[in-house]
């Protein structure tokens, strides 16, 4: 078995924290053994990178605590102090030391991982330690989390079921002088009854339920923090508090992903993975059913258009936010749908006010130039690229020969544009109802201090430092709805724009408040907003209207066919299937390798990054093994044998505006069932990054041009 196969055979058991993540860093990938180049500083001979002696670990540790832990809401002074004291690099294999203060789980021995620093801090804070307690930890691993606990508690008792890890962690802890940490090799689900009861118990693995043995070893008034879930790969982090001898309370803390808690009161050992021979047969079946094409320009779309039929909504996905082929293929399909199936509008995963700039331009509307440049905030390249510009120019040319009512429109579905949406509502009311405009300014004034960075508003309301603006923004939306008929008489399209901007402000206010409570609430609110916007557009354009959605695969594929459903998350693809049934047609995209436009962190500059080859056990690897460079794969009515093979859950890659190839599995893969997720799948084996617009390309264009300087 190769290094890669060995790592992947254990992939389902790697710890991580949610944010649409899976698995962990693959050592083999990081050292350049699977395609690509070795990382900077790796000389190919020694295990330790040549620049290791130059790293200031103390400085990196302090920066990590501030940036990734304190900034994300961990406030316990004793926890922050403990995180600053413990040298994480001492608990890592030599080849991983340089990554010690990345906020990510990292591989250690026996297919296990050292936990993400943030999750260690969050779980430790959830124990509500004050100092001097007796703590039980289940899942010693490297010993890092036990060391953190030991800087707060009087004694830490930790149990590890893997003998090699128990032996190594005990030696490391002793060598570093952690005398109050006691390590036991045993079944963690049974706890360590010899030293019970405990003031606090923390479990670093996910179980199907809370083990009764652990509950029994908890002191009355004590706290037990454990990931629990019916799925081995997905859990809810819960805190159990013992109120009396037989009474407990439970509260949910966050969605997480940990290795399975294996033992008598947990899961059985991991099952077998699919045989490679079966994958080879399945790849041949895909190649047989796929409709091959040599180029985007020459692809025959007739069979696809026949499959789409009378669908009212067609959702076109993308596996990244920065791949040229995905944009160009969506353009080609959209042109065909507009020309041959009479589709009314395009709705993108972008902000409403920015998309309105494009809409005014392509529909030849007489609007004054806007005060802002469309899609000028991060991630600029996602919509300000040459591929989108060519489609926008085609839409304008297409609309030139149509009557105003028959021109194809262009809208944004997203809700991030708080400031521009407020300004759009005020500008509209200034024209049609100055008195209401004055009221709107007063109400929206509640959000004025936060318009440049609404995430700060969400944090301020959560901590009680600032009251919420919910009543003000919802009242403004209600006022507009009540005056719908009077306002619409002036200009129905302008009223739609104002109404949607007011709805966006109300939903954005809720979004930025809920994003601090966890990913589920904010994700669902965002996709619900997208879906409601889509329905409003279909209603505005009439009962026979049809819409095309451009968004990421994670939005347009049916979430019930992915691991999102285990977290109670849903998306616009799922909501469309519920609402429209077969009249909704979803198309996903995939690639194996190439380049992509993405950033390393939020709000950082775009880079053209190399996309790593797809991992084993993924749908992308399966498509790559067909040896076909490009094809369309119908899934709704696929042959029975093909469907049966594809119904086996597999990994699927999702690259957004951020791409971290060094943590490929952790950051960019999730589990899905492809035939239930999409109606069709488009494959490009090798792809290239989109081309951002350069300033010199935009000089001399009219003021109304949406991508102007």
Q: What is the pLDDT of residue 105?
A: 82
Q: Three-state SS for 190? A: helix
The active-site residue, picked from 12, 16, 76, 115, is 115
* Count of CB atoms situated within 10 Å of the CB of 441: 15
Q: What is the pLDDT of residue 501?
A: 67
Residue 1 clears pLDDT 50, i.e. is over it: no
Tens-digit pLDDT profile for residues 499-529: 676 766 666 666 655 554 445 667 887 898 8
Burial class (CB in 10 A: 0-12, 13-18, 19+), 360: buried
Residue 44 clears pLDDT 60, i.e. is over it: no
Least confident interval from 124-133, 336-345, 362-371, 614-623: 362-371
With cut-offs at 50, 70 and 90, classify the pLDDT of residue 5: very low
271-275 mean pLDDT: 38
Mean residue pLDDT of the chain comes to: 81
Q: What is the pLDDT of residue 116?
A: 87
With cut-offs at 50, 70 and 90, classify the pLDDT of residue 429: low
Q: What is the pLDDT of residue 109?
A: 78
- Here the tokens at position 444 are 């929206």
With cut-offs at 50, 70 and 90, classify the pLDDT of residue 378: confident
Least confident interval from 538-547, 608-617, 694-703: 694-703
Q: What is the pLDDT of residue 695?
A: 56
End-to-end alpha carbon distance in the chain: 55
With cut-offs at 50, 70 and 90, classify the pLDDT of residue 123: very high
Q: What is the pLDDT of residue 421?
A: 61
Q: What is the pLDDT of residue 144?
A: 95
Q: 3-256, superfamily in CATH?
A: Vaccinia Virus protein VP39 (3.40.50.150)
Residue 282 clears pLDDT 80, i.e. is over it: yes
- Under 8 Å between Cβ of 692 and 648: no
Task: Write down how long the chain is.
Answer: 709
310-319 mean pLDDT: 98
Residue 134 clears pLDDT 90, i.e. is over it: yes
Q: Three-state SS for 316? A: strand
Question: By percentage, how much of the chain surpasses pLDDT 90?
Answer: 52
The residue among 175 and 427 whose pLDDT is bigger is 175
Global pTM reads 0.63
- Output 80-89 pairs: Cβ under 8 A, ≥24 positions apart: 80/121, 81/151, 82/124, 82/148, 82/149, 82/151, 82/152, 83/117, 83/120, 83/121, 83/148, 85/151, 86/144, 86/147, 86/148, 86/151, 87/57, 87/61, 87/176, 88/61, 88/114, 88/117, 88/144, 89/57
**How far, in Å, CA of 688 to CA of 403, rounded?**
38
Q: Which residues contact 180 (CB under 8 A, 6 or more apart)?
A: 150, 153, 154, 155, 156
Question: By percentage, how much of the chain surpasses pLDDT 70?
Answer: 74
The answer to whether residue 519 is catalytic is no
With cut-offs at 50, 70 and 90, classify the pLDDT of residue 234: confident
The residue among 289 and 446 whose pLDDT is bigger is 289
**How far, in Å, CA of 706 to CA of 341, rounded?**
27
Q: Three-state SS for 653? A: strand
481-504 mean pLDDT: 62
**How far, in Å, CA of 176 to CA of 553, rounded?**
47
DSSP string, 400-415: HTS-GGGSPEEEEEE-
Residue 631 bridge partners (DSSP) = 292, 683
442-459 mean pLDDT: 52
With cut-offs at 50, 70 and 90, classify the pLDDT of residue 471: low
209-234 mean pLDDT: 90
With cut-offs at 50, 70 and 90, classify the pLDDT of residue 354: confident
- Here the tokens at position 516 are 């601090």
């Amino acid at each position: 078995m190769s290094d890669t196969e060995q790592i992947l055979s254990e992939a389902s058991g790697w710890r991580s924290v949610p944010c649409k993540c899976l698995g962990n860093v693959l050592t083999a990938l990081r050292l350049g053994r699977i395609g690509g180049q070795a990382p900077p500083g790796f000389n190919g001979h020694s295990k330790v990178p040549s620049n290791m002696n130059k790293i200031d670990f103390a400085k990196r540790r302090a920066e990590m605590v501030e940036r990734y832990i304190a900034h994300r809401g961990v406030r316990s002074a004793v926890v922050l102090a403990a995180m600053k004291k413990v040298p994480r690099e001492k608990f890592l294999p030599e080849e991983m030391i340089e990554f010690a203060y990345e906020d990510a789980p990292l591989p250690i021995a026996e297919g296990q991982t050292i936990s993400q620093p943030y999750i260690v801090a969050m779980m430790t804070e959830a124990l509500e330690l004050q100092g001097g307690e007796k703590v039980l930890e289940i899942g010693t691993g490297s010993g890092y989390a036990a060391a953190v606990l030991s800087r707060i508690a009087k004694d830490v008792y930790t149990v590890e079921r893997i003998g090699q890890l128990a032996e190594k962690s005990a030696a490391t802890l002793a060598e570093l002088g952690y005398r109050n940490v006691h390590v036991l090799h045993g079944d963690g689900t049974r706890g360590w009854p010899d030293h019970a009861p405990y003031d606090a118990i923390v479990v670093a693995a996910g179980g199907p339920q809370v083990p009764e043995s652990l509950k029994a070893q908890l002191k009355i008034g004590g706290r037990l923090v454990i990931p629990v879930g019916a799925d081995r790969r997905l859990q809810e982090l819960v805190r159990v508090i013992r109120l009396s001898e037989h009474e407990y309370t439970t509260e949910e803390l966050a969605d997480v992903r940990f290795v399975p808690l294996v033992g008598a009161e947990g899961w059985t050992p991991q099952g077998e993975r699919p045989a490679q021979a079966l994958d080879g047969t399945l790849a041949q079946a895909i190649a047989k059913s796929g409709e091959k094409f040599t180029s985007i320009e020459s692809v025959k779309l007739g069979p696809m258009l026949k499959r789409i039929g009378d669908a009212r909504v067609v959702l076109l996905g993308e596996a990244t936010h920065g791949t040229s082929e995905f944009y160009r293929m969506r353009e080609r399909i959209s042109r065909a749908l507009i020309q041959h199936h009479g589709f009314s509008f395009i709705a993108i995963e972008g902000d409403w006010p920015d998309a309105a700039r494009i809409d005014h331009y392509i529909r030849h509307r007489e609007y004054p130039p806007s005060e802002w440049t469309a899609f000028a905030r991060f991630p600029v390249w996602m919509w300000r690229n040459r591929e989108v510009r060519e489609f926008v120019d085609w839409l304008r040319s297409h609309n030139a020969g149509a009557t105003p009512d028959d021109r194809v429109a262009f809208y944004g579905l997203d809700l991030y544009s708080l400031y521009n949406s407020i300004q759009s509502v005020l500008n509209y009311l200034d024209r049609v109802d100055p008195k209401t405009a004055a009221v709107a300014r007063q109400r929206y004034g509640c959000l004025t201090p936060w318009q440049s960075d609404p995430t700060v508003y969400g944090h301020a309301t959560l901590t009680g430092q600032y009251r919420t603006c919910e009543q003000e923004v919802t009242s403004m939306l209600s006022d507009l709805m009540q005056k719908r008929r009077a306002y619409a008489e002036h200009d129905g399209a302008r009223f739609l724009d104002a109404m949607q901007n007011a709805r966006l402000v109300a939903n954005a206010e809720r979004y930025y408040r809920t994003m601090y409570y966890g990913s589920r609430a904010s994700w669902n609110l965002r996709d619900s907003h997208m879906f409601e916007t889509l329905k409003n557009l279909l209603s505005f354009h009439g009962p026979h209207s049809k819409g095309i959605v451009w968004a990421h695969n994670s939005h347009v594929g049916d979430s019930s066919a992915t691991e999102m459903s285990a977290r109670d998350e849903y998306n616009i693809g799922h909501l469309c299937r519920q609402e429209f049934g077969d009249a909704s047609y979803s198309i996903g995209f995939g690639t194996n390798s190439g380049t992509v436009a993405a950033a390393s962190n939020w709000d950082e500059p775009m880079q053209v990054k190399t996309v790593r080859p797809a991992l084993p056990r993924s749908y992308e690897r399966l498509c790559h093994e067909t040896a076909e460079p490009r094809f369309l794969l119908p899934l709704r009515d696929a042959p029975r044998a093909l469907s049966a093979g594809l119904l086996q859950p597999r990994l699927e890659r999702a690259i957004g505006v951020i791409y971290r190839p060094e943590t490929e599995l952790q950051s960019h893969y999730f589990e899905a069932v492809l035939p239930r997720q999409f109606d069709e799948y488009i494959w490009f084996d090798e792809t290239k990054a989109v081309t951002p617009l350069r300033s010199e390309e935009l000089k001399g264009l009219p003021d109304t041009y949406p991508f102007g300087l």
